Amino acid sequence: MCIVIFIYYELLNEQDKKLKEFEKEQQFVELNNSYMQVLESQNNEMHMIVHDVKNHYAAIASMDDANEIHDYISSIANDIQKYQIIKLTNNKMLDLLLSKYKVECSANAVEFNAEVKTANLNYIDDSDLSIVICNLLDNAVQAASKSTAKQISLSLRRVNNFDVLTVTNSCDTVPQSANGKIATSKKDKTSHGYGMRLIEKYARKNNAEYEWHYENDKNIFVSTLIFKR
């Protein structure tokens, strides 16, 4: 009887873990979609600013003081910079995501470089793409912001029948891992454990393989997703 009760509670515990993981995943999607809506709103605001350029010219023409003109132009430039959205890939969701992390990296004094050439992952569902990219770059920002070099680079290119997405970030501490899995404990100073299961799950869902390695001589962590088209 005790064994049956033990098994029953173990099953309940496992179901509870799965439910919490699902709820966390859904919360992540909702929060990220909200952020995307904010970015899209900012993009629309920037278009309005640019569209109003004739009025800006008229306002500047009416000014006589050089300092006043300088201040006015600076305020316009700051507004445009604030609402600027990266347009690099012709994939609206991917561009929004790159814009999001450009802002986050700037806020954390991290240099962010993105190079997208012959692929843009436009065949992946926006929600799936968002979960994969956000978890990859959240981990990268957390680790890079604590490093000395404070650098992140993202590259996306097509190689034969594969699209290869690589995220490289500076990381001063060797990741704690076991059997190829990065530790998820809060004591993991590299901050790469969080979201790893989500990356792997959505990589498999989209016919991709996920790999990672750490280069001791360069103090960098490299994540690679290989999508088969």
Are 119 and 157 a contacting pair, CB within 8 Å?
Answer: yes
* Residue found by looking up tokens 């920037």 in the block: 46
| Confidence at residue 133, expressed as pLDDT on a 0 to 100 scale | 93
Q: What contacts 130, CB < 8 A, 6 or more positions away?
A: 29, 32, 33, 36, 93, 97
Per-residue pLDDT tens for 1-26?
555 455 545 555 565 555 555 555 66
Q: How far apart are CA 219 and CA 173, in angstroms?
A: 8
| Confidence at residue 4, expressed as pLDDT on a 0 to 100 scale | 46
Residue 167 has pLDDT above 70, yes or no: yes
Nearest CA-CA partner of 217 in 179, 156, 177, 170: 170
| Confidence at residue 185, expressed as pLDDT on a 0 to 100 scale | 43
**Whole-Å CA distances, 200 to 13, 33, 36, 92:** 23, 21, 23, 23
Work out the percent of the chain whose per-residue pLDDT is above 90: 37
Q: Considering the chain, what is the average pLDDT of its residues?
A: 77
| Confidence at residue 190, expressed as pLDDT on a 0 to 100 scale | 46
Helices (H), the chain: 2-51, 53-61, 66-83, 92-107, 126-145, 196-205
* Residue found by looking up tokens 């173990």 in the block: 10
Per-residue pLDDT tens for 58-82?
666 677 677 776 676 666 655 555 5
Nearest CA-CA partner of 44 in 92, 114, 103, 94: 92
Tokens of 95: 């561009």
Per-residue pLDDT tens for 189-206?
444 455 788 899 899 999
Are 86 and 93 a contacting pair, CB within 8 Å?
Answer: no
Q: Give residue 223's pLDDT band: very low, low, confident or very high (50, 70, 90).
A: very high
Report which of residues 63 and 118 the model is more confident about.
118
pTM of the predicted model, to two decimals?
0.65
Residue 144 has pLDDT above 80, yes or no: yes
CA 35 to chain CA centroid, Å, is 12
